[in-house]
Structure 1
Amino acid sequence: MARTDSTGSTWRYRWAHRQNERRHQTYRGAEATWRRRNDELCRLRALAADFQGSAAAGIGLPLELASDEVVLWVWPAVQLVEVRHSGVLPAPDLAVGVEATPLRPRRPDGIRVADAGMAVVTSRRLVLLGGRGRRDWAYGKMTGLTHDPAAPVTLIQTLDRRRTSGVLLPVAAAADFRFKLTLAFADAIEQRDAVRAQLDELIDEHAQLKPFRPAVATPAQARLSGLVPGGRRTVAVAAALALLVPAALIESGPSDPGAEVAIAATPDPTPRATPPAAPMLARAEPAASTSPKPKPERTSASPSPQGERLCGAPRNPMGYDFCGGDRIREPDAEVCDHFDCAQEFWAGRGYLVQCRDGAVSLTGGSRNACAEHRGVRRTVWT
Structure 2
Amino acid sequence: MAKTDSTGSTWRYRWAHRQNERRHRTYRSAEAAWRRRDDELRRLRALAADFQGSAAAGAGLPLELAADEVVLWVLPAAQLVEVRHTAVLPAPDLTVQPETATSLRPRRPDGVRVTDAGMAVITSRRLVLLGGRGRRDWAYGKMTGLAHDPAAPVTLMQVLDRRRTSGLMVPVDAAADFRFTLTLAFADAIEQRPAVLAQLDELIAEHAQLKPFRPAVATPGQARLSALVPGGRRTVAVAAAIALLVPAALIESSPSDPAGERAVAATPAPSASPVPALVRPAASVPAAPTAKPTEPKPKRTTPSPTPSAERRCGAPVNPMGYDFCGGYRVRKPAAEVCDFFDCAQEFWAGRGYLVQCRDGVVSLTGGQRSACAGHSGVRRTVWT
TM-score by length of 1: 0.69
Q: Which amino acid aligns with 1:304?
A: P
State the 1:100 CA deviation: 6.6
C-alpha distance in structure 2 between counterparts of 1:212 and 1:246, whole Å? 47
Give the corresponding residue for 1:85: 85
Tell me the SS of whatever aligns to 1:140: helix
Deviations 1:86-137 (A, max 9, x none): 4212221111112272533333343333222222211111111223221110
C-alpha distance in structure 1 between counterparts of 2:15 and 2:163, whole Å? 68
C-alpha distance in structure 1 between counterparts of 2:259 and 2:158, whole Å? 86
Q: Which amino acid aligns with 1:63?
A: L
Q: Which amino acid aligns with 1:80?
A: L
C-alpha distance in structure 1 between counterparts of 2:300 and 2:252, whole Å? 12
Q: Which amino acid aligns with 2:13?
A: Y
Is the contact between residue 142 and residue 161 of structure 2 (CA under 8 Å) also seen in structure 1? yes
Q: Which amino acid aligns with 2:261?
A: A
Tell me the SS of whatever aligns to 1:21: helix
C-alpha distance in structure 2 between counterparts of 1:316 and 1:62, whole Å? 64
- Unaligned regions of 5+ residues in structure 1, if any? 318-336, 341-382
Give the corresponding residue for 1:216: 217
Q: What is the aligned length?
A: 301
Tell me the SS of whatever aligns to 2:13: helix
Is the contact between residue 101 and residue 173 of structure 2 (CA under 8 Å) also seen in structure 1? no
Structure 2 CA distance for partners of 1:275 and 1:231, relative to 1, 3 Å:
farther
What value does the CA root-mean-square deviation take over the aligned residues?
Answer: 3.3
Q: Which amino acid aligns with 1:82?
A: E
Tell me the SS of whatever aligns to 1:127: strand
Question: Does residue 1:134 correspond to 2:138, yes or no?
Answer: no
Give the corresponding residue for 2:319: 315
State the 1:314 CA deviation: 5.2
Is the contact between residue 79 and residue 168 of structure 1 (CA under 8 Å) also seen in structure 2? yes
From 301, 306, 309, give the equivalent of 1:306: 309
Q: Quick one: percent identity of the two aligned structures?
A: 76
C-alpha distance in structure 2 between counterparts of 1:248 and 1:56, whole Å? 84
Deviations 1:233-266 (A, max 9, x none): 111111112222232344345725xx43332345
* 1:249-328 aligned within 5 A: 249-252=250-253, 255-256=256-257, 259-265=258-264, 267=266, 275-276=286-287, 279-280=289-290, 283=291, 286-287=292-293, 290=295, 292=296, 298-300=302-304, 302-307=305-310, 315=319
Q: Which amino acid aligns with 1:299?
A: P
Deviations 1:143-200 (A, max 9, x none): 2111122322211111111111111222232211110100111111121111111111
C-alpha distance in structure 2 between counterparts of 1:106 and 1:87, whole Å? 20
C-alpha distance in structure 1 between counterparts of 2:119 and 2:226, whole Å? 65
Structure 2 CA distance for partners of 1:274 and 1:80, relative to 1, 3 Å:
farther
Structure 2 CA distance for partners of 1:276 and 1:106, relative to 1, 3 Å:
closer
Q: Which amino acid aligns with 2:71?
A: V
Is the contact between residue 5 and residue 220 of structure 1 (CA under 8 Å) also seen in structure 2? no
Give the corresponding residue for 1:112: 113
C-alpha distance in structure 1 between counterparts of 2:320 and 2:210, whole Å? 27
Structure 2 CA distance for partners of 1:111 and 1:223, relative to 1, 3 Å:
same
C-alpha distance in structure 2 between counterparts of 1:145 and 1:316, whole Å? 45
Tell me the SS of whatever aligns to 2:151: coil
Q: Which amino acid aligns with 1:65?
A: L
Structure 2 CA distance for partners of 1:39 and 1:86, relative to 1, 3 Å:
farther
